[in-house]
Amino acid sequence: MGARVIKSNAHASIGVFDGALDEYLTYLSVERGLSAASVEAYGRDLRDYLAFMHAAGIDSLDGIEREDITDYIEDLRKRGYASSSTERHVAALKGFHRFCVREGLAKTDLAASVPLPKTADRLPQAITIDQVAALLDQPFASTPAGLRDRAILEMLYGCGLRVSELTSLGFGNLLLDDELVRVRGKGGKERLVPLLGSARQALDEYLRDGRPHLHAKGNAAAQDPDAIFVNARGGRLSRRSVCKLVEKYGRNVRIEGLHPHTLRHSFATHLLEGGADLRVLQEMLGHSDISTTQIYTHVDRSHIREEYLSTHPRARMRPGGHT
C-alpha cells in the first residue's frame, strides 16, 4: 500500500475499528488507571492512526500489515510531525495492537516488529551563571508570597529539584540540622540533596516569616499542614503555579520561556563545569543510570577545550616539541 496523506482529525471515521478502540481506552482508564487527559490523548493519536487505515480500505485489524504501519509513520513525517510526536504515536499504536492480540481481537501483532523512531537527544538549555545571578538577586516583594517565590527559585537551582519533587515536599523531607533535603524522585526512589548557602537562607526566611501567614489565611478545608510551599489558601502549591511564577520571574530579567527544568539543568551543568564528580552528580539528580547524567549534563565545547589546554601536558606543544 502506498503512503496516503490525510488530515489529522480526532473525529475522522475509523469504521470497524471503533469497538476495539473503545475497549482499549476503557482498559487504559479502568485497569491501568490513567488520567482522563492521558486517555483522551491516546484516543486522539489512535483515531488518527485508525482513520489512516480505514481511509486506505483496510477493514480489519488482521488486515493491517507491517508495511501499512511504516507507511503511516512516513505519513506523520510528511505532515510535519516532530520526531517526538511521531514516537508518541507509534508507542500508542504498538500498545493498542498488543492489547488487541491479548484480548483476542486480532490474531497477530505485526506492530511488535516496528521499532520506535529514534529521536534526537534534546536537552533544555542551561542559563548562564550571570543569568542565574540576575534571576535570584532581583528584588522580591517583602510579602509572604515574595518570600515563598524566592525560596522556590533558590531551591530549584540550588538543589536541582524537579518541579514535582519541589511541590511534594513536606516537613518530613527537611533535615535542617544536617543541611539536607530528602527527595522522593521518579519511581519513588529517595535521595539526599545538600541544602546550603542562599537556598537554605531563603527557605529559612520563608518558613519563619512567609509560610505561617499564607497557611493562616487559608480555610480549614483547603489547608495542607504538611506542605512546604503553599498558595494563598494554605493549600499545597501546584506544579502549574510553580511553572507560571518561574516564567514570570524569568521575564522580569529578560529570560524568556524560563521553566523549572531549565534551572535543574543549569544546576547540573554548572556543577559539572565547576569540577563536580559525575557519579556524585548522578546521585544528586536522582538518575538510576550514569548514561542519563552524561546525556543530561552537556558541557559546552569551549569549556572542554579550556580544560584540555589547562590539563594535558602536551596540549600546547607544537610540531618539533616546542611550546
Q: Assess whether 162 carries a catalytic annotation.
A: yes
**More reliable by pLDDT, 252 or 109:** 252
Q: Assess whether 7 carries a catalytic annotation.
A: no
Residue from 102, 186, 279, 303 carrying the catalytic annotation: 186
CA–CA separation, 17 and 248 (whole Å): 46
Distances 118 to 5, 35, 49, 70, 234 between C-alpha atoms, Å: 22, 27, 19, 14, 44
What cell was used for 113? 516488529
Quick one: pLDDT at residue 5? 37
**More reliable by pLDDT, 74 or 229:** 229
Q: Assess whether 200 carries a catalytic annotation.
A: no
Residue from 44, 79, 182, 261 carrying the catalytic annotation: 261
Tens-place pLDDT, residues 31-71 = 888 888 888 989 999 999 999 888 888 888 988 988 889 88
Quick one: pLDDT at residue 1? 41
Tens-place pLDDT, residues 212-253 = 999 888 777 778 899 999 999 899 999 899 999 999 999 999
CA–CA separation, 247 and 244 (whole Å): 5
Q: Assess whether 261 carries a catalytic annotation.
A: yes
Q: Assess whether 186 carries a catalytic annotation.
A: yes
All domains of the chain in start order, with CATH: 15-113 (1.10.150.130), 129-306 (1.10.443.10)
Question: Structure pTM?
Answer: 0.60
Q: Assess whether 287 carries a catalytic annotation.
A: yes
Residue from 94, 148, 236, 264 carrying the catalytic annotation: 264
Instruction: Using the predicted structure, report yes or no on whether residue 95 has a pLDDT greater than 80.
Output: yes
Please answer whether residues 149 and 140 qualify as being in contact, where contact means their C-beta atoms are separated by less than 8 angstroms: yes
Residue from 94, 148, 162, 236 carrying the catalytic annotation: 162
Averaged pLDDT of the chain: 84
CA–CA separation, 27 and 319 (whole Å): 69
Order of all β-strands in the sheet with 180-184:
174-175, 180-184, 190-194
At residue 3 the predicted structure's pLDDT band, cuts being 50, 70 and 90, is very low
